[in-house]
Amino acid sequence: MRARRPLSRRLGLGGRTGVALLAAGIGVLSPFAAVSPASAQQATDAAGTWAKPPQVDRGALPNDTRRPDKTYKQKTGCVQRSLDNNVPINIIPWGQAYLQLDKAQQIVKAAKGTIGGDQKIAVVDTGVTPHPWFQGRVESGGEYVANPTNHQPGGLQDCDGHGTEVAGIIAGNPQDPKVGFIGVAPDATIVSYRQLSENYSEDTSSNSSSNTGQPGGQQGGQQGGQPGGQNGGQLPPSTGGGGQVEGTGPQQDNNGDTRQLQKEGTAGTLDTLAQIIRGIADRGDIKVVNMSVDHCRAADGTGSIQKGEQEVQAAVKYAADRDVVVVAAAGNVSDTCPQNDQPDPNKPKSIVTPPWFSDDVLSVGAIDQSGGVASFSVHGPWVGVAAPGTDIVSLDPAEGSTGLANLTINNGQQSKIQGTSFAAPYVAGLAALVRSMYPNLNARQVIQRIEATAQHPAAPGGRDDFVGYGVIDPVAALTANLPGDVGMLAPPKPVVQAAQLPPADSTSSTPMIVALAGTGGGVLALLITLFVMHTIRRNRPNSSPG
């Protein structure tokens, strides 16, 4: 099923007029704008199904240890940049144009003077490389893969290349008019938590207690850890200097990003994910979190829940209750995560965490350039909204890079960057803009606003299991007047409009002179006409006899 094009385009409304009409009318014209996500979810989840998780066990909430749960060691080299063939990528990414992000950013800039500059967004991923196009707006959140060093604080090395691309979509800012790419909230601050890596694995050696793994930096990133060497690590010219190099761990492939938590031979567990979410909620200064990481397992048909899933469920509930918007990728189809294409959507083949906990998580599916659902995007009753997830352009994640990437190398083959991992940051960035625009809204109201203003699919209740409530509409999310907004949004301030009439001039006699002259002229003309007519009649010969 394909997601519909934005309403303003389908009605032929272009430019500011179309956006204004859409924003003004969506609360009245859309029969789904006031649909409650919770009520729709309850209607979908009939008794006896296992699409909805069990009740939250608050006792499962873990404490944040702020360290890796195991001892990991680096097994493959980190992503490298092309040393000779950096090709500029100056096009505007299609997803950026599709969502009309330029208009949305103009709205926020005009109202707030900054585009998300008052927001901190946590990125729980493979780490974030401090790319120069972040302008120093990347902070260390925590390191859960390897022990941090003085050379690179925790969370600020991205050996896999995934987290930097995700963070770039949220807050990258080239500050160059020649570059088409820009992040959704280009003034926001990224707080990076490295929680997952496919380039690390558990160290089972006898001396693992003292070997905490190679934390990265120059040795692991560009020298000793590179099996392919410099020549083997160079990328073809068309990559723009980004992507995966020979000898490193796998990144995205043609079916989407297949990285998974608790995957054998990798770093990252549901336990540390839950710890991080709890720690973010306890900080208090982070109000949006993006998790482009997930755990997918086969549904057992009993509705049971695993220990790690319980911990994450308790953590996202804890965060939502403390006013944190939790955004998560819906997951990608793989050999271990089959598509939910069964006849009964409430009896799924695959369960994806954290999206499963949709009461407290906004999960994001992916669409492609046609507007249709991406083939790799996992379906499910927990899908909240959708966003672009194919043909991605973002910041080059390699250490020392100063450009963009649009391709990755997987098993020696070029692949486009794609996955629900890259749809989620579009939504996280939008959530930050909504929080900036409407600071009185709490986390659940922000999510409801994003869902209510999405371009709803043609399905009962205005949602389906493919794109949820639809493809996000940033302009509508920032401007629409929705039912229930009274009391939530700051009331508009009345503006006194100055009169533009010309000032009175009572001292000038010119108008009177003109008026009298006109009247006198008219009287004179009338007298002349009467005189002429009288003279003609008097001098006419008398034609009567005698």
> What is the helix (H) or strand (E) element at residue 278, kind and residue range?
helix 270-283
Helices 443-452 and 420-437 cross at an angle (nearest 10°) of 110
Q: What are the residues facing 457 on neighbouring strands?
A: none
- What order of strands is seen across the sheet that includes strand 362-367? 138-143, 189-194, 120-125, 288-291, 325-329, 362-367, 383-388
Q: Which residues pair with 122 in a beta bridge?
A: 191, 289
The rounded Cα 68 to chain-centroid distance in angstroms is 29
Q: Are residues 414 and 238 in contact, defined by beta-carbon separation less than 8 angstroms?
A: yes
* Angle at the Cα of 464 from the Cα atoms of 374 and 8, rounded to 5 degrees: 75
Cα-Cα end-to-end distance for the chain: 110
- In angstroms, rounded to a whole number, what is the distance separating the alpha carbons of residues 360 and 316? 6
DSSP 187: T
Active site residue 209: no
Annotated catalytic residue within 8, 292, 358, 421: 421
125 catalytic residue (yes or no): yes
For residue 88, give the amino acid letter: P
Rounded CA Rg of the chain = 32
Report the C-alpha gap between 279 and 282 in whole angstroms: 5
Helices (H) and strands (E) in the chain, counts: 14, 15
Strands 362-367 and 325-329: parallel
Q: Which of 351, 363, 377, 375 is nearest to 296 (CA)?
A: 351
Q: Which residue out of 8, 30, 82, 125 is catalytically annotated?
A: 125
The b-or-e profile of 169-180 (16+ CB within 10 A means b, else e) is: bbbbbbeeeebb
325 contacts 446 by C-beta, under 8 angstroms: yes
Is the separation of the CB atoms in 472 and 430 below 8 Å? Answer: yes
How far CA 197 is from CA of 45, 192, 411, in Å, comes to: 35, 14, 18
Cα–Cα distance, 366 to 385 (Å, whole number): 9
240-256: b (≥16 Cβ within 10 Å) or e: bbbbbbbebbbbbbebb
Amino acid in the structure at residue 340: N
The yes-or-no answer on residue 368 being catalytic is no
Exposure b/e, 40-70, CB count within 10 A at least 16 = b: bbeebbeeeebbbbeebeeebbbebeeebbb
Q: Are 172 and 394 in contact (CB under 8 A)?
A: yes
Per the CB < 8 A criterion, the answer to whether 3 and 467 are in contact is yes
Given 82, 131, 160, 162, which residue is catalytic? 162
Catalytic residue set: 125, 162, 421
